[in-house]
Structure 1
Amino acid sequence: MKSWLPIPAGSHFSLANLPFGIISTDNKPTRRPAVAIGQNVLDLKAFADGGGFRNLQTLPSENISVFSETTLNAFAALGRPSHKAVRAYLRDIFRGDTPYSDALKTNEVLKHDAIIPLSEVQMHLPLAIGDYTDFFAGRNHAHNVGTFFRGPSNALNPNYNHLPVAYHGRASSVVVSGTPLRRPWGQALASPADKTPEFRPSKRLDIELELGMFLCRENKLGEPVSISDAEDYIFGYVLMNDWSARDIQQWEYVPLGPFNAKNFGTSISPWVVLADAMDPFKTNGLPNDIGLQQYLRESRTDNILDIQLTIAIRSKLPTSTSKFSP
């Protein structure tokens, strides 16, 4: 599918994606929603104010105001059908054979107001985060971390194959990628044989490439969400770096789990890839030989996202870059 707006080959922000985020600019410092496309963004407030959504019949006029908010929370709260309709409409707007040429393609005034180079925008947290739960979801990752703490023979605790293992993190320290973070201080053992810890900066600061998920619906206090309805609660995904001070974590995590070793900062990418955009990447997960209890059994087997990611680590001393795929 080609766009009338130039998109570099291999761009992560193609018509197949169109992720949502929150931007500001020097001439308009108020934060507002946008979508990324190629080397540009579409300012959704300017687009909405200019009548850009007039052809989207499935979006009631009273809901257009969500694109004037300073976070994506109001848009997310509209629900999955609205997310899908808006994304599909914006894709049609940018198609080379768009059926809505006068909405943007031939509307020079609105193009000038609403299309902004990526290099000219500042990115912000896409949603206000009220709560944050960190899941121990990757089996290989869980085995590697468990080996570090307890050895390979006891890497996975008995409960791992039976239920989702997670802890509540600090929502207030989730920051957008690029935000500087201070190396944490805490108690750690100088050597495994020591019994008394010392208070010092972490010497084993670790990164964790993870996938973050934003939810778009709430449930009443104490009211469970069935596994068959869970998909309807997913707004979209971001990349996440769950910074971890392993030496501090090793000393403090018994018996209640991570604390200062994890809560000093969690970085997320600023663009939210909508759940519908990820559907083509669904596949089967790793086999689990232990039968799950009924409330955790899913009807669909392609319940895992197959995403190829590469990490690049750049060091100042000496200057080098290492790349690997998890």
Structure 2
Amino acid sequence: MAEKIDLRSDTVTKPSKEMLSEMFKARVGDDVFGEDPDINALQNKVAKMFGHEAALFCPSGTMTNQIAIKVHTQPGDEIICHKESHIFRYEGGGIAANSGVQPYLLDGPRGTFTLKDVKEAVHPSDSHYPRTAMVAIENTTNRGGGGLWDWTEIEAISAFCKSENLPFHVDGARLFNALVADQKSPKEVGPLFDSLSICFSKGLGCPVGSAIIGSKSFIQEAHRVRKRMGGGMRQGGFLARAASYALDHHVPLLADDHKKAIMLANALENRPGVKDVIPPKTNIVIFETESEWDNQDWLKYLTDAGISCLPFSQTSIRFVTHIDVTLEAIERACKVIKSK
């Protein structure tokens, strides 16, 4: 029987032999005391990489996003974000529960919005309105099918936020996918944001970990919030070592994941029961089925054929390519899809 093909998410990856070998070289120390040398080295590495002063290693991207919101805002404030953003839809109500702030939800194609949208969302200084405290974007956009922001638009929003003294944050769970797809360097885009959240456990293939990046004063306060949230990992150098290895070896491989996504999208075109396929820009493929019945039919067909995927709504399904799915496995998946 052929090996199952797991396309549910790029979070399902397991460390490679080379990564595991690197992890066992960790020197470890107590990170809560700031004494883990490999965590310290990773934090310095990503801060310098993105052109910022400091960084903080955390267990998850949800935590790094929630830390950023907590540091940038006060209870009763408002945060501008997209209605399909991860921080709004998939972080357990953390915007409200952790920070006591409310979202001002924008709309736009594939999880993006414009400078005009932001300007219209910023409240005047009036006691009737909550204080607009920050702007957050997601790049790439999960529910936008791995969609990419136009960097010209990001630059315009960044300039406006600086002029208004509004913190600008990026949920960069898959930011490296965006950088590879757009041929941008981290140092080129990092200064556009006041804070960045980057994830090591998705496309980069690490077992655990994300980092939040910003100024020294921001990270100092982020450290306090991480402690409050229970995010100190003590001897976490094993995980930091994996992240550092991934930054050195796995980033270029993301381009291969993007090619695999295009193969899957092409295989889905004109298949029975498929209404539409969002053209993949990176490693996510979302296709819309004609009806809820077609959705269930596709899910059963794929599962029976050994392909794991996620229903993304009552009439849509998501595939995510990653480092653990080989080209041969994608070719097999394409044959299964074309045989439907």
User: Which structure is higher in helix share?
Assistant: 2
TM bin, normalised by shorter chain, reads under 0.3
User: Which structure is higher in strand share?
Assistant: 1
TM-score by length of 1: 0.24
Q: Which has the higher contact order (CA 8 A, sep 6+)?
A: 2
